Amino acid sequence: MNMTSWSKAIVLLAACLGAGPFAFAQSQSADVATVTERKQGDGVTLVSPDGRIEFQLKIQDGKLIYSVSKSGEVVLAPSRLGLRFASGKDLDTDFIIGDVSRNISDETWEQPWGEKRLVVDKHSEVLVTLLSAKDQTPQFNLRARVFDGGVGFRYEVPDTGARAIVDELTEFSLDPASLAWWTPAGEFNRYEYIYRTTPLNEMERAHTPFTLKLPNSNTHVAIHEAALVDYSGMWLDQRRAGVLEADLAPRHDGVKVRVEGAFDTPWRVIQIADDAAGLINGSDIYLNLNEPNKLGDVSYFKPGKYIGIWWGMHINKYTWGSGPQHGATTENTKAYIDFAAENGFSGVLVEGWNIGWDGDWFNNGDLFSFTQAYPDFNLPELSVYAKERGVHIIGHHETSGNITNYENQLEAAFDLYEANGIPAVKTGYVADGSDLKFIDAEGHPRYTWHASQERVVHDLHVLKRAHEHGIAVNAHEPVKDTGLRRTYPNAISREGARGMEFNAWGTPPNPPEHQAILPFTRMLSGPFDFTPGIFDLMPNGEDDENRVPSTLAKQLALYVTIYSPIQMAADLPENYKKFPNAFQFIKDVPTDWEQSIALAGEVGDFVVMARQERGAENWYVGAVSDENAREVKLDFAFLDANRTYRAEIYRDGDSANWETAPYDIAIDKRIVTSQTKLGLKLAAGGGFAIRIVPVEAAQIESLKPVPAMKKVVLENLGAPHIPERDVTVLVPAGYDASDDRYPVIYMHDGQNLIEPGRAVTGDEWKVDETLARLIAEEKVRPAIIVAIEHGQERWREYAPEAFLENLKLAVKDESQTPFSDDYLSFIVEDLKPKIDAEFRVLDGAENTFVMGASMGGLISLYAVSQYPDVFGAAAGLSTHWPLVDPKSVKPKKAIKAIQKSLSAGGIDASKHRFWFDHGTLNLDAHYPEYQKRMDGYFSKRGFGAENYASRMYDGADHNEASWAARLEDPLIFLLGK
């Protein structure tokens, strides 16, 4: 603190004390002052360092009452304080105020990891001794701290022996017309409920953090607690309209809390902000109300990203239990380790590796072993395999809520993980909300609540023992975070709200607004292992209720808007391979931050977050929306004013919508500075994610926006035997300003190539964007694309007649007879002359190519065979070699028929070039055997590496999204310089 700010603090302290002389004793830190007053009568006032928030304490009819205001606005009306016990004297009335001690503090401390590296703790404090009005003996102390962003207070009760708390009287009296966002507490499903948005007076019993907006201003308030240690978690129960009372989760015996000797309650916290974003930016209050790190060195934990054998169980690809679909096998885990190593992920979570998952594991907590693996899982072998590849295993301990069974095995379980170099464990307590099981001292089974004192004590025991073994803990079905990670930093993350898995099987799944509520509610308390990054947004099919209500871009944005020092790439590896360009953001985004700023947002509508990478100048911005589309004005003023940056923007495409076009994503690059202001659209259920990297002047020129291709639509083209259809011609940027001539690619399935709104599946190939980028990067020659829409009878147009004739496949119905010869004749005799006449094209087969996917790949090959002097090259993506349903024809027979036709055609290795590829999923999984036979055929015909390519894309599917993801490769093959 400099002299000016220190002087202001002294003035502020004087204002807190009122008029008259006072003295203060300065502590060893120059940032703290202490003043003790003697018996101030019926009231005490404490104000925040900036003078805006005021906390008042007074005695009214012998009862202890407090209130809170902000800049004169009532935030909490007079509210009662006190404690009641099962026996002995209650602390609920008959008070007078005794000694009053005051401090001011202004310090900065460093987190080992977190939303920000440096945390400022600046507050005013008062410690008030409450005396008995009858005999003026001390009853307890109330300690309050007022920050610029809110108030925290706690009870500090002297030793009076063993006591049982049956009621905490703490009230929060709020305007009942306030708008509240909350989830029900004291229910079977713990914290995992959809948020409700209601007037405050319609709230029932709620979890904290509990967020509301006052009715006559934009003031936002969140009520929560800090430093929950050896006490029960607090729910909020609305007793009268607007009057919320602390309701403590009960122990197994019905008592709320049992204490021995002197005790402190957790801090009761009222966060206050001028707007919704201010709540996020003020959430340091919870950390600051906790004690500093008690563990010491926690460098065994390193923030990072992980993948896991997890989502596959939720979508029924794998099982937790043993059997033919067992997910946690040595072989499967090695594949995940390989994928992690290839993509820069540090960890692989493995669930279902240990004995106990078979049968009804939900009610099977007694049978879980935390050291004995299933026979098909070899932990020591996998640990070595992972270490050799720079990856570590993340352990998993599912307890099914059986505390005693877990604690009995805790040392052996942590010994096993420590011996195998496992630095983190995900714990689980899947059980109904009041069914946590433990065995008491007499050997009787007892059942308690997830937020009870017994669970709180258990969790702290687990953290301490884990630390002794160099292990960090990510708790699922947890006790809520209360900032205790400052004191015990190996508490790295946790659940505590509905996560991604509810989209796989929850009824109903999380609504689109869910991720726009979390940052203002659950996320105020600390990190959330939400498990984002699902790329197959409809794992159960398009018509299933359970799908991910999100666009692809929103899944990327969640890595910024939802904080955790360990972030999961939650989908299956094969699904990331379909979208390599989007996946790049997940590979790039860090999980540890220098600073974090909520730029804008409204609870349940949208949020925009900016975070600076720890130890770097890179920034990341994420934004998510609810079910409504909207535009966000993004101001880059948070950037260094002296630097220039490259912004890599992953945004919703023009037609993106979580219901109708979830995969429509656009990826742009542009130069930005601190002066840049940019409007970005969020689709319904959408989002955007931005990576911002400093660049030098020499790099800026190459980052100018890619010039777009020009689109010309030729309407209603056809031939005598070919139904009319539109043909779209794409010409390169600068076409109108030059006399250059260009090669031409004729492409089938024109509906699917350019506009997602017209694509059959909703996913476009992005031909215009990909080719424009390749031209700008000088990877290919500028070219013209002729996108030919297919007619109503696509198979009949694209099924090569000669191939089918050689296959001797009888057509049962004359209406199914193919007319592909007429279709090719239309292209060569009708369409091509029109293109040649109206556009500047290069002559010759060496400049004329044909391309398509599936049956479009087959007709492209057929076109070169039938018109060898017209087409010089063809590209077939996922070429459908079987011609029909693969189950109805044998590969050898189909390929023989195709080869016979090709041999009779005009294919020539000295004139022609061919590209073929396929994926490994669904229909594409049938193609490798066909492709191998075709590769041998072309090799015998004299084709080699210079004019023939055959590629396999592991994890790619038979769909437009997969073809768009690899389109760059065949375009470079056809047009490369």
Q: Which residues are catalytic?
A: 501
Sign of CA pseudo-dihedral 209, 215, 216, 218: positive
Say how far apart CA 770 and CA 782 lie, in whole Å.
12
Selection from 476, 457, 542 nearest residue 231 by Cα: 457
Say how far apart CA 163 and CA 380 lie, in whole Å.
48
Say how far apart CA 599 and CA 607 lie, in whole Å.
8
Say how far apart CA 481 and CA 521 lie, in whole Å.
12
Residues 6+ apart with CB under 8 A from 123: 48, 49, 104, 105, 145, 146, 147, 288
Say how far apart CA 972 and CA 849 lie, in whole Å.
13
Residue 90's CB is within 10 A of a number of other CB atoms, namely 17
Say how far apart CA 197 and CA 214 lie, in whole Å.
14
Say how far apart CA 748 and CA 923 lie, in whole Å.
19
Selection from 758, 851, 862, 740 nearest residue 800 by Cα: 862
Residue 544's CB is within 10 A of a number of other CB atoms, namely 11
For the chain, the first-to-last Cα distance in angstroms comes to 63
Identify the helix (H) or strand (E) that includes residue 837.
helix 832-838
Say how far apart CA 636 and CA 251 lie, in whole Å.
50
Say how far apart CA 650 and CA 647 lie, in whole Å.
10
How many alpha carbons fall within 13 Å on the CB side of residue 362? 4
Say how far apart CA 894 and CA 933 lie, in whole Å.
10
Q: How many residues does the chain have?
A: 977
Say how far apart CA 858 and CA 824 lie, in whole Å.
12
Selection from 644, 650, 646, 621 nearest residue 633 by Cα: 621
Say how far apart CA 719 and CA 716 lie, in whole Å.
10
Say how far apart CA 391 and CA 752 lie, in whole Å.
40
Say how far apart CA 468 and CA 453 lie, in whole Å.
23
Say how far apart CA 608 and CA 712 lie, in whole Å.
38
Residue 269's CB is within 10 A of a number of other CB atoms, namely 29
Residue 209, both tokens:
């953090």
Q: Maximum Cα–Cα distance for the chain, whole Å?
A: 113
Task: Tokens 């190939």: give the residue.
Answer: 765
Residue 822, both tokens:
């007429």
Say how far apart CA 191 and CA 136 lie, in whole Å.
43
Torsion of CA 756, 760, 764, 768, to 10 degrees: -90
DSSP codes, 479-518: PPP-SGGGTSTTEEEE--S--TTHHHH-SSPPPTTHHHHG
DSSP codes, 653-697: -TT-BTTTBTT-EEEEEEEE-TT-EEEEEE-TT-EEEEEEEE--H
Residues 6+ apart with CB under 8 A from 904: 802
Contact 173, 142 (CB under 8 A): no
